[in-house]
């Protein structure tokens, strides 16, 4: 009996001990074991990328800490002992948006946590793309010897990084152009450029592929808009220089010579004309515009995106026993080489005796498209002759034995179309080019290359831009997006080794289409109209007949009140390989 009592007492004592221990465990596991913490539970904190945040706390026992994204934030330590502690959190650039920091104290059932978001500093956000640009310039920039001596500011925004760094140089005077602003100050513009690509669009300037396809861009379809000021008021208007076939502007019925007097229902003030001009010429997203002409008619247009056809206009006409081909071409876009070649096939089929090539609004583009035009003009007799040769920076030239690389005049095979050019070879010894200050780069390459093989090129208009250097572009993809970078990497020369046309080509016959009589703005005639000043002059030179300039498109009362304003540069000027 006594033995049983002892055994029962032992069992009861054991049960009582378990109960007491369990009660003690329940008490110690309550809460998170942290006091005096320098954060609010569940709160979100923002730390600039590359910076640190230090938080203090007191732990009742040993602890461990962790981050849900080690790519976004790192911790100076992941564990510690009881007592006062500090934790240093360092922020990094990452595609992750936020991280959760958790701290668990040993023996406690709950944990403490807070969120961390990263703030990208303006001075740091472009560091990655700037590093890539810097390396490319060191390797391929035409003036890389001086570039390597620079100490660039990598904290600049990517576009400012390119402009400010290259403008600061002394030896690259073929890349940067000096101009005087309306405020009388001296400014620089660069041919080299970088731009961030819209993820919904592919780049439209890439070369170096077997075949270059058509690519879309945002555009209302204007080839150019000439700003005109009404001197008696603070108002102005834009005169359309041309529209791209199939564009929204074309479908709406807008044509060369028409005037835009209102945009979005508002008159065009002189104070805002540059901003309004840019909004119509530089598409950067899907958008719509309402424009009103001189007579109050309203046109609704949208920016697409569209494939921008540079083959603006062409015809063949019989004039005084001459069969004259005429082509207005606004950009050397190899994606439209078939459309361009189709024009020359028509010229060939209709046995043209003379050619007028209108490049007055053409700022250049792909070198291969310049080869196509030049080879079709020259024909089979010049197949294999030097179309153009290229000088690179000293390091690259040394690597190829200091001998310029060359491109030939083509005939048998044109790779971008995988065809012979025989059907479009017009075999001419003379060509008439209509030019202006907007005629640049690949346009000037055509002029120089034809003159290099002694084909006579008659220039009508104004002095050309003077871009005798070209680009080899590349794309960079970073966490921030995809960028297209086109720095100047070579200078071009013709078969006679002439390439010093940085001041442009002077016209053989000077005519300013904005004031052809040297008085005031008279408006624009249709492309191919015999009284259009530049085209009419070419017809006169071809036929030997006197040129009679037509009357102004505006009344005599209006003319003295009008003056043209300089056209802002809204498109990249390119000679792209």
499 shares its domain with 350: yes
As a whole number of angstroms, the longest Cα–Cα distance in the chain is 145
Spatial distance between the Cα atoms of 15 and 152, rounded to a whole number of angstroms: 77
- Helix (H) or strand (E) run with residue 229 in it: strand 222-230
Give the CATH number, domain containing residue 94.
Answer: 2.60.40.10
Report pLDDT for 206: 52
Rounded Cα–Cα distance for residues 239 and 220 (Å): 15
Are 57 and 105 contained in the same domain?
yes
Whole domain around residue 387: which residue ranges?
A: 311-467+490-576
Task: Identify the band that residue 19 occupies on the pLDDT scale cut at 50, 70 and 90.
Answer: very low
Q: Is the pLDDT of residue 17 over 60?
A: no
Claim to verify: residue 377 and residue 432 sit in the same structural domain: yes
Q: Are strands 259-263 and 235-243 parallel, antiparallel or unpaired?
A: antiparallel
CB 568 within 8 A of CB 279: no
Q: Tell me the per-residue pLDDT of 334-362, one tens digit each, with 9 for 90 and over.
A: 999 999 999 999 999 999 999 999 999 99
**Quick one: average pLDDT of 456-464?**
98
227 CB contacts (<8 Å, ≥6 apart)? Answer: 236, 237, 238, 273, 277, 564, 565, 567
The CA angle 346-347-350, to the nearest 5 degrees, is 80
**Rounded-to-integer distance, Cα 480 and Cα 512, Å:** 45
Cα–Cα nearest to 162, from 124, 193, 132:
193
Decide: 485 and 133 in contact? Cβ < 8 Å: yes
Query: Structural domain tally of the chain?
Result: 3
Strand intervals (E) in 333-449: 354-358, 364-366, 386-391, 405-408, 430-435
> Is 24 domain-assigned?
no
Buried b / exposed e over 525-556, threshold 16 CB at 10 Å, is: bebbebebbbbbbbbbbbeeeebebeebbbee
Q: Which of 119, 135, 150 is where one domain is finished?
A: 119
409 contacts 387 by C-beta, under 8 angstroms:
yes
**DSSP 8-state assignment for residue 272:** G
239 pLDDT higher than 90: yes
Looking at 148, 171, 190, the residue that finishes a domain is: 190
- Per the domain annotation, does 94 fall within a domain? yes
pLDDT of residue 30: 81
Q: Are residues 91 and 177 in the same domain?
A: no
Q: In whole numbers, what is the pLDDT of the chain averaged over residues?
A: 88
Tell me the average pLDDT across 4-31: 48
Q: Is residue 573 within 8 Å of residue 470, measured between CB atoms?
A: no
Check whether 16 has a pLDDT greater than 60: no
- Of 47-51, 288-292, 389-393, the poorest mean pLDDT is in 47-51
Is the pLDDT at 376 greater than 90? The verdict is: yes
Question: Does residue 250 form part of some domain?
Answer: no
Does one domain contain both 59 and 171?
no
The reported pLDDT for the residue numbered 181 is 63
Comparing 99-113, 257-271, 552-566, the range with the smallest average pLDDT is 552-566
Co-location of 445 and 513 in the same domain = yes
pLDDT of residue 198: 84
Q: Are residues 441 and 526 in the same domain?
A: yes
pLDDT attached to residue 20: 41
Determine which of 245-259, 286-300, 512-526 has the lowest per-residue pLDDT on average: 512-526
Alpha-carbon distance of 486 to 353, in angstroms, equals 39
457 falls within a domain: yes
> Which of 190, 215, 241 represents a domain boundary (last residue)?
190
The answer to whether residue 537 sits within a structural domain is yes
SS3 of residue 206 by DSSP = coil
Q: Which helix (H) or strand (E) holds 261?
A: strand 259-263
Q: Are residues 345 and 462 in the same domain?
A: yes
Confidence at residue 242, expressed as pLDDT on a 0 to 100 scale = 97
Give pLDDT, residue 6. Answer: 41
Output the domain CATH number for residue 400: 3.90.226.10
> Pick from 344, 304, 129, 113: which is nearest to 222 by CA?
304
3-state secondary structure of 503: coil
Q: Are residues 366 and 507 in the same domain?
A: yes
φ, ψ of residue 551 in degrees (nearest 5):
-75, 170
For 318, phi then psi, to 5°, come to -90, 115
Based on the fold, state whether residues 83 and 138 are members of the same structural domain. no
Structural domain contains residue 282? no
Q: Rounded mean pLDDT of 503-508?
A: 97
With a cut of 50, say whether residue 1 has pLDDT above it: no
Note whether 86 and 54 are within 8 A (CB): yes
**Distance (Å, whole) CA 561 – CA 522:** 11
Cα separation, 238 vs 244, in Å, equals 17
For residue 483, the SS3 value is strand
Tell me the pLDDT band of 405, cut-offs 50, 70 and 90: very high
Q: In the prediction, which pLDDT does 233 show?
A: 79
Question: DSSP per residue over 18-76, as a string?
Answer: HHHHHHHHHHHTSS-SEES-SS-TT-EEEEETT-EEEEEEEESS-EEEEES-TTTEEES
Residue 79 φ/ψ, nearest 5 degrees:
-160, 165
Residue 240 lies in a domain: no
Q: Is residue 203 part of a domain?
A: no
pLDDT in tens, 124-166: 678 899 999 999 999 999 999 999 999 999 889 999 999 999 9
Q: Stretch 459-487: mean pLDDT, rounded?
A: 94
**Pair (167, 108) in one structural domain:** no
Reported as a single tens digit per residue, the pLDDT across 42-80 is 888 888 777 788 989 899 999 899 998 887 888 999 999
| Residue 553 banded pLDDT, cuts 50, 70, 90 | low
Does 142 lie in the same domain as 85?
A: no
């Amino acid at each position: 009996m006594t033995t049983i009592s002892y055994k029962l007492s032992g069992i009861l004592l054991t049960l009582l001990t378990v109960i007491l221990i369990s009660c003690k465990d329940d008490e110690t596991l309550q809460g998170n074991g942290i006091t005096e913490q320098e954060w609010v539970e569940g709160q979100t904190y923002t730390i600039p990328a590359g910076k640190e945040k230090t938080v203090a706390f007191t732990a009742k026992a040993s602890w461990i800490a962790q981050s849900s994204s080690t790519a976004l934030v790192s911790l100076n330590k992941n564990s510690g002992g009881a007592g006062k502690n500090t934790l240093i959190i360092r922020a990094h650039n990452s595609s992750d948006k936020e991280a959760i920091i958790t701290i668990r104290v040993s023996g406690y059932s709950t944990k403490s946590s807070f969120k961390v978001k990263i703030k990208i500093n303006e001075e740091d956000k472009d560091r990655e793309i700037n590093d890539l640009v810097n390396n490319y310039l060191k390797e391929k920039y035409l003036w890389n010897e001086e570039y390597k001596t620079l100490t660039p500011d990598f904290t600049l925004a990517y576009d400012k990084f390119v402009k400010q760094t290259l403008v600061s140089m002394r030896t690259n005077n073929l890349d940067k152009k000096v101009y005087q602003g309306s405020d009388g100050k001296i400014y620089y513009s660069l041919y080299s450029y970088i731009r961030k690509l819209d993820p919904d669009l592919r780049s439209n300037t890439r070369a170096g592929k077997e075949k270059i396809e058509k690519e879309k861009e945002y555009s209302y379809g204007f080839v150019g808009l000439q700003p005109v000021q009404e001197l008696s008021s603070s108002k102005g208007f834009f005169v359309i220089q041309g529209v791209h076939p199939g564009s929204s502007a074309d479908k709406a019925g807008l044509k060369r010579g028409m005037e835009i007097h209102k945009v979005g229902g508002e008159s065009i003030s002189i104070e805002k004309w540059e901003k309004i001009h840019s909004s119509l010429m530089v598409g950067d997203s899907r958008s719509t515009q309402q424009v009103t002409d001189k007579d109050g008619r309203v046109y609704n247009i949208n920016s697409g995106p569209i494939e921008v056809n540079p083959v603006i206009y062409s015809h063949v006409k019989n004039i005084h026993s001459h069969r004259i081909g005429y082509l207005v071409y606004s950009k050397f876009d190899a994606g439209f080489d078939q459309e361009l070649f189709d024009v020359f096939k028509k010229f060939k089929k209709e046995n043209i005796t003379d050619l007028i090539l209108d490049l007055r609004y053409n700022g250049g583009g792909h070198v291969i498209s310049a080869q196509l035009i030049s080879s079709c003009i020259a024909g089979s007799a010049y197949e294999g002759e030097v179309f153009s040769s290229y000088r690179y920076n000293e390091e690259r030239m040394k690597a190829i034995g200091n001998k310029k690389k060359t491109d030939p005049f083509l005939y048998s095979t044109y790779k971008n179309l995988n065809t012979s050019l025989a059907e479009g070879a017009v075999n001419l010894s003379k060509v008439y080019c209509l030019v202006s200050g907007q005629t640049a780069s690949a346009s000037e390459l055509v002029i120089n290359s034809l003159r290099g093989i002694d084909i006579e090129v008659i220039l009508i208009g104004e002095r050309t831009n003077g871009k005798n250097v070209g680009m080899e572009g590349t794309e960079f993809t970073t966490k921030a997006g995809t960028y297209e970078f086109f720095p100047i990497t070579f200078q071009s020369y013709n078969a006679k080794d002439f390439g010093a046309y940085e001041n442009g080509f002077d016209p053989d016959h000077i005519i300013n289409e904005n004031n052809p009589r040297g008085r005031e703005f008279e408006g624009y005639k249709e492309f191919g109209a015999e009284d259009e000043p530049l085209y009419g002059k070419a017809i006169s030179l071809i036929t030997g007949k006197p040129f009679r300039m037509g009357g102004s498109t505006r009344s005599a009362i209006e003319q003295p009140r009008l003056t043209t304003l300089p056209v802002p540069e809204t498109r990249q000027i390119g000679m792209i390989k």
